[in-house]
Structure 1
């Protein structure tokens, strides 16, 4: 594509240097990935400012630079007010507006995003669609899986891979949309057909000013559905959530609500919850049926109601929805049992907020027959104010708690543990900094019919300490330890 044609898409710009007939073969934001005929976009990130790497970009073959502050370069520089917005606009145009050729379902909320994307993937796949999923765990296109760095990748990654999805005949994309992504404009230019809201509980207050600012960031997904009715756009909102009204007021498009309250359009009731199952009645103006599934916990009932509501907006038959939910195996690291063959149950869950930890422990309380041990920590370089609240939730619902490291990142692990426990009186807990030792402590003391919850990391296969990711999988560690315990006995 000709550079002049590409930058014509930018209405507000200042050009320094001569734009002639330069050809652009790629757009890059990482100078290391620049090659001959690349357009380099300078992004000022958390730790690295792309404006400092223009020399490396031009040495690697960049023929032009997009910047938001003055830089010296031997190639034309196009100055814009916001390079992140400009990159999204250019990427969308460069790759041929690919998201407009896909049915994109965006899912936002504190808890449940990943589970909901998996449930929707199961439903739409069973209904005959070829799907793609982008989220916390990875990116899936058809049957192929690819690693992702962030829950919601940057706009350049998204538009490039939307084009790949179109080329591979994908028709439905289900993606998690984080508050960070919405605040930073990573989904600018993405043509979202359905925006879905799960819930909002305390998290990310290291980034957002307060809960209202956090809610506002989430509401951007709904305002970005637009104000026109000539295209099919729909919002799906958990009406039982405290912040549901903010999402509703941000949205000009039709809204389908779900929940357990009578005011929900898609309503669940008559819940029956067990250790490895749940069942409930779901009703709408057009159907009433009983759902039975292997997923357990009230929080998963909400996730399934959200999936039903989204599928409803696409006229997926309730029989298909019901069959998909009955067959689903759930999500790795979400209420995942890892010791079914032994008298002690070990459950690994990604719960890393006060609310999600409380939800999981409440679900365990409903199925326990003996004691509950909880192994839990809190991530470093993240919201400190949630740490004592997580400790309180663990203490409230557990018979014994082992506080340990999660991903301390660049923080002192002991300082994180002090934040969690300094307000606690003496009681049924201990503090063991090493995560492996903490899991071993719980397993050594557990008796038959006890349940051990290992919370916070879920599907993750690493532990990040001092900025280095070391292999660590809660499921592998627990499985090995509990097998050793019972083999020795």
Structure 2
């Protein structure tokens, strides 16, 4: 799929250094200098600390793509290889990478799922539905990249543009026909999806998150809206928008009349849902009115928000030309690690692991458990370091308003002091308790505890639970490590919760035998 330098210069609107051999063919592109072989194009981008052009001499790449600042650095170092100079490297990176790899997204049906909560679950639902329809499916998202079932872990929800195009090209080579991709606001803002042609974009919802990256909620929304807004260069061919929240309604108006809307509540929409029947294990069965048909769906996931995720996935697939009943059949087979993951070891209380790490998500999962548990509800919760600090007290408040027990613990503190993060969450929780106490005795008041060790916090929640109660470990979900400073320590909430329950059951058995 190699292309010539003059073609790249034309695509990027850049200037090719005088005297350069324009017939040089480029077969790959990247921003990591040392990873590129001969025949590669090194994209020297400006960084927060230094410019990528300073690393050009470490690369075997045949040519360099950079900006004016990078060109000066290269000239000062007497660079002899061809150089293409553009105004903004990141702005053209996706377009160039797509061309270098032969525009792989054009040869597959590509779905993009964006929103604050539900992107991963919706992606898993879409994957299960499309596999059930007999397609070869690739997935790119929070839980990594899967190519025909082969897992390729990634650290970013949506990889850098150069990596993304390479992954899409690999998927095409392996015969993938349908791609499901989580699209983060970072990916949109940083141009990572430029060069990818999306057939269907789906929107889940919007609530406070990433305000360490976006200055305001308005900016956060505007970034997401670029994926749907008419005239946007990254807009998908077709749009499906959940209008259960106000942001969804606003987005549907911006997207225009061609957008398909879905609703699980009273708001009018193109696709609507009947009241779900909830099984003892959380399984939900519901009817969807779509394209003049009534289609019965069943998902092995609890929570009204998962009904919304499932209907969004169904509608996105149908919008791409799939049969509604076939897609509904595939939804039954979904398994989503760390998303309302039920840990059943034979105990007499409900134990769940979920990735909820935003105030609205915490409220939603606790509301779900409250509706299903016969007894009390307990939650273990924390907040990540080096991330939106404004949401920390809101997390504590959301937990204290909905749970009987709130254990505040460490999440991924990263470079921050864990005690300071916990203190912020505690402030919100305690303020919510004070407000509820002021209302009167009829209001339930949560028991607030602070336990820094995540394992000890999980064990405390298990020890607290009685018959008919529900316990949820929130925040890390599928993650298998805890980031403290620069060190990632092995830690899996599901495994830790499983051990804690097993140890409790063993202790209870031993006590019964002794008595």
> TM-score normalised to the size of structure 1?
0.93
* CA displacement at 1:196 relative to structure 2: 0.6
Alignment match, 2:305: 299
Deviations 1:329-363 (A, max 9, x none): 33100000113421232200000000111110000
Alignment match, 1:242: 246
* CA displacement at 1:377 relative to structure 2: 0.2
1:144 is the counterpart of 2:143: no
Deviations 1:229-284 (A, max 9, x none): 9xx92100012221124433443682111012351111012223344211222113
Alignment match, 2:14: 13
* CA RMSD, Structure 1 to Structure 2 (Å): 2.2
Report 1:406-417 matches (<5 A). 406-417=411-422
Alignment match, 1:54: 56
Q: Is the 8 A contact 1:6 1:94 kept in 2?
A: no
1:377 is the counterpart of 2:382: yes
* CA displacement at 1:78 relative to structure 2: 2.0
Aligned length: 483
Q: Is the 8 A contact 1:291 1:322 kept in 2?
A: yes
Report 1:304-453 matches (<5 A). 304-325=310-331, 327-423=332-428, 424-425=430-431, 428-453=447-472
SS in 2 for 1:8: helix
SS in 1 for 2:478: coil
Alignment match, 2:163: 157
2:38 counterpart (22, 36, 53): 36
Distance 1:51 1:315, change over 3 A: same
178-187 vs 62-71, greater mean Cα deviation: 62-71
CA distance in 1, matches of 2:498, 2:155: 27
Report 1:185-334 matches (<5 A). 185-223=191-229, 233-251=237-255, 254-260=258-264, 261-274=266-279, 275-325=281-331, 327-334=332-339
Distance 1:2 1:227, change over 3 A: closer
Q: Is the 8 A contact 2:345 2:501 kept in 1?
A: no
Distance 1:208 1:65, change over 3 A: same
* CA displacement at 1:324 relative to structure 2: 1.6
SS in 1 for 2:415: coil
* CA displacement at 1:310 relative to structure 2: 1.1
CA distance in 2, matches of 1:462, 1:345: 24
Alignment match, 1:488: 507
CA distance in 2, matches of 1:31, 1:25: 15
SS in 2 for 1:9: helix
CA distance in 2, matches of 1:313, 1:71: 49
Q: Is the 8 A contact 1:9 1:90 kept in 2?
A: no
Q: Is the 8 A contact 2:345 2:498 kept in 1?
A: no
* CA displacement at 1:84 relative to structure 2: 1.1
CA distance in 1, matches of 2:12, 2:334: 49
Q: Is the 8 A contact 2:9 2:16 kept in 1?
A: no
